[in-house]
Amino acid sequence: MFLDYIILPAIALLLVWRLYTVLGKRTGNERPRPGPAGMRRTGDAAEGNVVQLPGRPADADRPALEPARDAPPHVALNVDPAAQPGLDRIAAAEPGFDPASFLGGARAAFEMIVNAYAAGDSATLRPLLSDEVFAQFDGAIRKRAAAQEVLTTTLIGITEAAIAEADADTRVARVTVRFVTEQVNVTHDAEGRVVDGDPSTVTKVTDLWSFSRNLRARDPNWTLVATRSPT
């Protein structure tokens, strides 16, 4: 199948948000920014998942994701060896599952979610995220709005996207993707002053994002259920 599992046609329009201008280099003077970082999820607490988005130290997360003819094409499949047995279990439970198509959609979803979070667009985030993850992201957006702060995120590029973990049981499939990206994150106050970040600083960020789907449901959509940084 050709991206039968993830991303709406509208995502092709939103991908123009991606910015490719290279900005400066790391200064080492960054400080942690208020936001989802450090907020523990419930439900997945046993895994120690932490909802995190741009702003934490380097290397330290739309309408339903449904089939789309206009979605991005396959990307080169990059799978950690430990994840392959889990992908095989998913394929056995759901014939037609295409890891390369999934990974291409996951890359597009990553860009959409990062940009929607920075823009404070909770409406876009709502159908992409599980209830618990959305509550964390939306709470951080509301806190930022109350402080009259504006976050600008420039996603320079995704330097790596790899399937790091995968598994399935009789009911649920779950795939974790490791994203390594270069970003510029700056927060301004109501007067336009920089209160966090540096517009000339590019930060390397490594994320592990877990997507899940109910195999018993007719809905083919995958949902972001957890984000964390490698330990």
pLDDT-based confidence at 91, cuts 50/70/90? very high
pLDDT computed for residue 208 by the predictor? 98
pLDDT-based confidence at 231, cuts 50/70/90? confident
Q: Is residue 39, in this structure, part of any structural domain at all? A: no
Q: Is residue 13, in this structure, part of any structural domain at all? A: no
Q: Read off the pTM.
A: 0.71
> How many C-beta atoms surround the C-beta of residue 122 within 10 A?
17
Q: Is residue 35, in this structure, part of any structural domain at all? A: no
Q: Which domain holds residue 145?
A: 21-30+51-66+77-228
Mean pLDDT of the chain: 76
Q: pLDDT for 22-76, tens place per residue?
A: 222 233 333 333 333 333 333 343 343 333 443 333 333 333 333 333 444 556 8
The structural domain count of the chain equals 1
> By CB neighbour count within 10 A (0-12 exposed, 13-18 middle, 19+ buried), where does 207 fall?
buried
Q: Is residue 40, in this structure, part of any structural domain at all? A: no
What CATH number has the domain bearing residue 152?
A: 3.10.450.240
Mean pLDDT of 183-198: 95
Q: Is residue 131, in this structure, part of any structural domain at all? A: yes
Q: Is residue 58, in this structure, part of any structural domain at all? A: yes
Mean pLDDT of 72-92: 88
Mean pLDDT of 2-8: 41
Q: Is residue 164, in this structure, part of any structural domain at all? A: yes
Best CA proximity match to 14, nearest among 116, 93, 106, 98: 116
